[in-house]
Amino acid sequence: MIQQTSKINLYYEKTGTGVPLIMLHGNGEDHTIFNKATAVLKKHFTVYAIDTRGHGKSSPVDELHYEDMANDVYEFICKLNLEKPIVYGFSDGGIVALILAIKHPEAISRIVASGVNTQPNGLNTINLLIYKITYFFTRAKRIKLMLNEPSITDTQLNNIKIPVSVTGGSKDMIKQSHLKHIADSIPNSTLTIFNGELHGSYVVNSTKIADFIIETVRK
């Protein structure tokens, strides 16, 4: 399906019945990374798996910015008249979810954010160096995005009032200290570390994150 916003077309797939749940993928991916999770989640939620701007079947763009992505999702919520959906975001999708909670807290009910960072230095040193080298040779806009953004302040995190569940893998490319800082900075937040998991191994083509979302919402 295609939903037109004020600036672009967003591709999404809708399945299931129940409370609305928006799924946001990471950098360089698309909604299909959630296929296995969606097969489980659709039994409990109406799932909207979106391709963010510049990804998948959504409109290409000249530049990528997280705030633009968050604005797209906000418009998506408004145009489809979704009533306070839950937002799940993986990696870059988690960043978009946090910005959405900061800018439009009235629009969503809760967030689950996996492998999220609020500053580029939230990535571990090795991965950050790899991305810098990659950008030097490729000038890829999606890598530029990761090196320059986001810039979410502690004050902005402190002002998030909705429930937020932060997750990460014990072998994540996001520093565990950074994930803990995010969770500690949000008043109504928890942190869960998946033992033995990488950045996306429990999310991409996995049902583990689906089970976690279901359990989290039930609490």
- Residue-wise pLDDT tens digits, 152-163: 999 999 999 999
Select the more confidently predicted residue: 219 or 96: 96
DSSP E strand stretches across the chain: 2-4, 9-15, 19-24, 45-51, 86-90, 110-114, 164-169, 189-194
The DSSP 8-state label assigned to residue 174 in this structure reads B
CATH topology of domain 2-118+153-218: Rossmann fold (3.40.50)
Which pLDDT score, from 0 to 100, does residue 219 have? 74
Which pLDDT score, from 0 to 100, does residue 53 have? 97
Q: What is the pLDDT of residues 106-117, one digit of tens each?
A: 999 999 999 999
What gap in Å lies between CA 174 and CA 77, rounded to an integer?
29
pLDDT band at 138 (very low <50, low <70, confident <90, very high): very high
- Sequence spans of domains, the chain: 2-118+153-218
Expressed in percent and rounded to 5, the helix, strand and coil fractions of the chain are: 40, 20, 35
| Position 168 pLDDT exceeds 90 | yes
Rounded to 5 degrees, what angle do the CA atoms 143, 177, 156 make?
70
Q: Yes or no: say if 123 and 150 are a contact pair by the CB < 8 Å rule.
A: no
Q: Yes or no: say if 43 and 110 are a contact pair by the CB < 8 Å rule.
A: no
Of the chain, the percentage scoring pLDDT greater than 90 comes to 97
Which pLDDT score, from 0 to 100, does residue 7 have? 86
pTM, full prediction = 0.97
